[in-house]
A and B are shown apart, each in its own frame.
Chain A
């Protein structure tokens, strides 16, 4: 097991190097540089040239890359080109916002497991049909449309829920972890807790639709396979109650592919949800990265992509390790 983990960790090194080279090259292949965006329509040739020189963009690509890598190895992610903001500090501020939203969306999407399970157990019933139609709609519906619809109904028409940012303008929460709900609880700030929770509802619901739909469908299909396996028949023949058969024998075995899908979703959600973060003005990583690509802010794109790649690889490793817990027959050699 230890050797397996060590090997997997070592394997992340070439992945990170590859990702850094790819991103470094790709952002520079896109026409238009940061100087164009920063100086806008009014840019003069002289100032464009001066800024390119000052930013080191006139140097050979290999030299630029080596400088970047050397800085990263020293723990210096650099500053943004627009506004000169330290990237590491900005990441620390934004990552909790993404984590809070992603984790809430994932918690909501856990509802998909019982839904998929019930659908499989009651295959062909109205519950099954309703769940699967809902799942189909959930997968098909564009996120930006759903987000705006929820925002219009619950925010504008009913005035039930706020839809801009993470907190109301008049609310303050002392920062400890950066997760507003947790920080509010830790400091006993109940008004802050409920305010943060209310701000989370609409974006988390929007973000959870696709994970719910995918997970429900996967759970249902794998459960259907497992329910016809010999060991399930044996369990029933032994006289175990149906609930125990389904929960302990069928569901646990059916969860392996579900966990894989879940893991991929954790990885992608933690990388930021551009559309949801944009619609609900959520100051997370996805929107930051997207804006930085549009603004050709090379240092942000490079550094954040590198961190996100690392997160993605780490989450996948953890998911792989969880297989052994779910299915003791799996051994890592």
Chain B
């Protein structure tokens, strides 16, 4: 009798478990986003990952911000600003009605406190275990190397930045998520643990941190002390970690999540045809390219580089490996919607016959399957005349999916097939995994052709072309060494006005195309899918997908 009763109880429990949905509770208006990974740390100064920034952007603010759907910069915590003639001094007038989410005031002291913690390696809040990558990159280094030499408090709500030299991208840099202003009281209280799951962030934005369970979710709630207006009606944002891309997309279809970013072509096509989902497209600020490693002797011959370029059917890659109408063939390194773009550079030609002729002219009438590796100079630069190795010609494809290159393997196979038609036989390799790939790239060990790409951080061309080519002959850029291009980009960075800088970026891009120094393949739009119940939301080109605008019906 007891056994039968137990069995019955188990059956009833199972039936209830199967059919009974979770009890409905009085819930806030909630938007759920599905992310493929965890945030690293909720403190923009010490991270480089998009997931952390996306969360931070909902609740933290910088002095300036990117305005709406464009890459131009406008006021945020600073309500106005002005620079001197040579752009070495910038004065920011701060909003006076702002407090941090812990109730402490936002003022000039808070701005100086944050920047000093990032700049000075001796500052007690500048921790050895953390790397302030973007401060060093955008402002040239720390301590005395820093481009920002001083920040003066003019009054409680006015600060003045002094630079050691004119720096064109200054305002764009200050608008990024990396330089959001955090509560000095919280930074001091939590020290090295600030931004970790137990602490979260304390900023000035519309959503405050509530909870973070790693590998599960981050929860933010609308904060009623926000100084500005929240245009939408979302009261709670939940960022769910769903590591499997297929499961994440199924969760979107099942209505368990409202928003997912980075879609593959098939998923984008499904969303496009769906009645219940919306496809969001952000103007593309991404470039997919194929690089040459200049330790390969043969790649130092422009005819070989041009032949490889002529063999690439870029239009087919765009049509095959990107969702329809979300990418276009790249003529230059800078995307067409970024200032500095050169419209006069012709589209890359596809001409396999001409490629075969060029290869023959370069001394490879039978094609190319093996290549010679040149030795490095003592200072680590490229290259000596000596051939240190002969290796199979390798094409490295990216082992991760990125918006600018959603299917590295597929694109690699297509490129290999195109190259085989002109007699260039490549071995395909992906290095093993992404960490290995990046490590090989950093050390100049992607010895062959290699795929990579870039997405803009701040909308300034220095953060695009400048990052790659301003510094000639280094291992990370596979010993790219075209001094004329490097000089142009270095000069452009140091000029204060956009009108002065733009022609230099245009000229550098034209030279890059003429020399086939690096082969640009495609520019891609940013893609995301949104539930049909969410309205009034847009994808910003620089990743500021602000939930504050969203209206859930």
Complex A-B: 23 CB contacts under 8 Å? A30-B435, A33-B435, A36-B435, A38-B131, A42-B457, A45-B442, A45-B475, A47-B131, A83-B39, A83-B196, A83-B197, A84-B130, A151-B247, A156-B254, A160-B19, A161-B18, A169-B30, A194-B20, A197-B17, A278-B244, A281-B240, A283-B214, A296-B435
Contact of A42 among B37, B467, B475 (CB under 8 A): B467
Chain B residues whose CB sits within 8 angstroms of the CB of A308 once the complex forms:
none
In this complex, what residue of A is CB-closest to B145? A46
Stretch at the interface among A214-222, A287-295, A314-322: A287-295
B238 interface contact, C-beta 8 A: yes
Chain B residues whose CB sits within 8 angstroms of the CB of A312 once the complex forms:
none
Contact at A84–B256, with CB atoms within 8 Å? Answer: no
Assuming A31-B435, A44-B136, is B40 touching A283 (CB within 8 A)? Answer: no
B123 interface contact, C-beta 8 A: no
A19 interface contact, C-beta 8 A: no
Contact of A47 among B23, B136, B197, B215 (CB under 8 A): B136
A68 interface contact, C-beta 8 A: no
Interface residues of B in 400-443 (CB under 8 A from A): 431-440, 442
Most buried by B among A55, A85, A94: A85
Chain B residues whose CB sits within 8 angstroms of the CB of A283 once the complex forms:
213-216, 241
Closest-CB distance, A18 to chain B (whole angstroms): 25
Closest-CB distance, A184 to chain B (whole angstroms): 12
Interface residues of B in 142-188 (CB under 8 A from A): none
Contact with A along B235-277 (1 / 0, CB 8 A): 0001011111011001101101100000000000000000000
In this complex, what residue of B is CB-closest to A85? B196
A151 to B217, CA, bound (A): 20
User: A-side interface residues toward B, CB under 8 Å?
Assistant: 30-33, 35-48, 50-51, 54-55, 79, 81-85, 90, 93-94, 144, 148, 151-152, 155-156, 159-166, 168-171, 191, 194-195, 197-198, 201, 278-281, 283, 287-288, 291, 294-296
A194 to B12, CA, bound (A): 12
Contact at A46–B216, with CB atoms within 8 Å? Answer: no
Count B interface residues, CB 8 Å.
Answer: 70
Contact of A164 among B48, B49, B256, B431 (CB under 8 A): B256
B32 interface contact, C-beta 8 A: yes
Contact at A90–B129, with CB atoms within 8 Å? Answer: no
Q: A197-B17, A291-B243 given. 18 additional CB < 8 A pairs?
A: A32-B437, A37-B438, A44-B133, A45-B474, A46-B141, A83-B39, A83-B41, A93-B213, A93-B214, A156-B253, A163-B250, A163-B256, A164-B247, A164-B257, A171-B22, A278-B243, A281-B244, A283-B215
Assuming A46-B136, A164-B242, is B213 touching A41 (CB within 8 A)? Answer: no
B360 interface contact, C-beta 8 A: no
Contact at B243–A287, with CB atoms within 8 Å? Answer: yes
Chain A residues whose CB sits within 8 angstroms of the CB of B196 once the complex forms:
83-85
B85 interface contact, C-beta 8 A: no
Contact of A32 among B130, B217, B433 (CB under 8 A): B433
B378 interface contact, C-beta 8 A: no
B452 interface contact, C-beta 8 A: yes
Contact at B133–A32, with CB atoms within 8 Å? Answer: no
B5 interface contact, C-beta 8 A: no
Contact at A36–B439, with CB atoms within 8 Å? Answer: yes
Contact of A37 among B39, B253, B435 (CB under 8 A): B435
Interface residues of B in 1-34 (CB under 8 A from A): 13, 16-20, 22-25, 27, 30, 32
Closest-CB distance, B472 to chain A (whole angstroms): 14
Contact at A41–B433, with CB atoms within 8 Å? Answer: no
A231 to B522, CA, bound (A): 76
Chain A residues whose CB sits within 8 angstroms of the CB of B48 once the complex forms:
38-40, 42
A160 to B141, CA, bound (A): 55
9 closest Cβ pairs, A-B complex:
A32-B435, A32-B439, A283-B215, A191-B23, A54-B128, A31-B436, A197-B17, A168-B22, A195-B22
A168 to B215, CA, bound (A): 15
Assuming A36-B435, A197-B17, A294-B434, is B133 touching A42 (CB within 8 A)? Answer: yes
Number of A-B contacts (CB under 8 A): 189
Closest-CB distance, A126 to chain B (whole angstroms): 25
Chain A residues whose CB sits within 8 angstroms of the CB of B16 once the complex forms:
194
In this complex, what residue of A is CB-closest to B131? A51
A170 to B24, CA, bound (A): 8
B116 interface contact, C-beta 8 A: no
B137 interface contact, C-beta 8 A: yes
Closest-CB distance, A164 to chain B (whole angstroms): 5
Assuming A31-B439, A156-B250, is B241 touching A84 (CB within 8 A)? Answer: no
B193 interface contact, C-beta 8 A: yes
Contact at B18–A198, with CB atoms within 8 Å? Answer: yes
Closest-CB distance, B441 to chain A (whole angstroms): 8
Closest-CB distance, A165 to chain B (whole angstroms): 6
Contact at B131–A50, with CB atoms within 8 Å? Answer: yes
Contact at B435–A47, with CB atoms within 8 Å? Answer: no
Contact at A165–B216, with CB atoms within 8 Å? Answer: yes
Contact at A48–B442, with CB atoms within 8 Å? Answer: yes
Closest-CB distance, B28 to chain A (whole angstroms): 9
A55 to B27, CA, bound (A): 44
Closest-CB distance, A54 to chain B (whole angstroms): 4
In this complex, what residue of A is CB-closest to B457? A42
B454 interface contact, C-beta 8 A: yes
Assuming A191-B23, A287-B215, is B18 touching A160 (CB within 8 A)? Answer: yes
Chain B residues whose CB sits within 8 angstroms of the CB of A81 once the complex forms:
129
B476 interface contact, C-beta 8 A: yes
Contact at B22–A164, with CB atoms within 8 Å? Answer: no
Contact at B433–A164, with CB atoms within 8 Å? Answer: no
Chain B residues whose CB sits within 8 angstroms of the CB of A84 once the complex forms:
41, 129-130, 192-193, 196
Assuming A198-B17, A281-B241, is B141 touching A36 (CB within 8 A)? Answer: no
Assuming A44-B136, A51-B131, is B435 touching A165 (CB within 8 A)? Answer: no
Contact at A148–B246, with CB atoms within 8 Å? Answer: yes
Contact at B247–A31, with CB atoms within 8 Å? Answer: no
In this complex, what residue of A is CB-closest to B46? A84
Contact of B436 among A32, A41, A161 (CB under 8 A): A32
In this complex, what residue of B is CB-closest to A155? B254
In this complex, what residue of A is CB-closest to B134? A42
Assuming A83-B196, A163-B247, is B215 touching A288 (CB within 8 A)? Answer: yes
